[in-house]
Amino acid sequence: MDILRYVAFSTDPHGGNPAGVVLDAAGLDEATMAATAAEVGYSETAFAVPRPDGTLDVRYFSPLAEVPFCGHATIATAVAHAQRHGVGDLLLHTQAGPVPVTTSKRPDGTVVATLVSVAPRTVEIDEADLAALLAALRWDAADLDPALPPRVAYGGAWHPVIAAAERSRLADLDYDMTALGDLMARRDWTTIALVHRASDTVFHARDPFPPGGVVEDPATGAAAAAFGGYLRELRLVGLPAVLTIHQGADMGRPSLLTVGIPADLSSGIEVTGTAVPID
């Protein structure tokens, strides 16, 4: 098995979010994939199985569990594939549904990938769940931005969106990992999208990921897609829109995600980023 190691959403191997990538996982069973992801130890490892038509079946495993879709590992997989087979269009068949990805090369040789999520949707969050979530985060209602109401958003996986009124609240992340992990496991939430709005289209984000055995994700493409759908559905951004999301800086792994939000409510959300090998 050839396990590649990349960081996504950064051109610096010391930034971004590390992902394992297996470009040919044909013949690997689920137990082997899970054990490999646990050994690699990154928040996600993607296992791709090429189809005869050139598309890929992809499964994503954290150190503790399989998830239906992972954005940063998708970006890493697409870049790794492009560096071996050339840039262009690629279709990934994920448990969440088909995810098209386009790769291109910058003049400096950096490969950039853009994924298009499955159709996003947003649902209300139960009051009791919100209270338990805030308690686990050690936040209270006064910390929230009333202009960005709490919801649970989907773009291939489910992520509660919780907006902080002040950037300092987002920077001071100190949560109860056991309590939050238990709540997320019961509700099938993948990460918690903690966000702060710096301007109309610029946001800061942090994403706790205790169900995967990870305290925090430095860059979360699936949550970015879900967040783009949330903003569109609640009409909280002018359409079409391009967002810039800064994530990972508070944990020393700065990441940059670009999110394209088409005006068509039935369309997927575009998430763009770079990826580079880890030496």
Closest CA to 225 of 152, 151, 117: 117
Cα-to-chain-centroid distance, residue 150: 18
The span from the CA of 226 to the CA of 120, in Å, is 6
Residue count (the chain): 279
- Helix 221-233, helix 71-85: angle, nearest 10: 120
Q: Which of 44, 124, 216, 270 is catalytic?
A: 44
Contacts of 237 (CB under 8 A, 6+ apart): 200, 201, 231, 243, 261
44 is catalytic: yes
Active site residues: 44
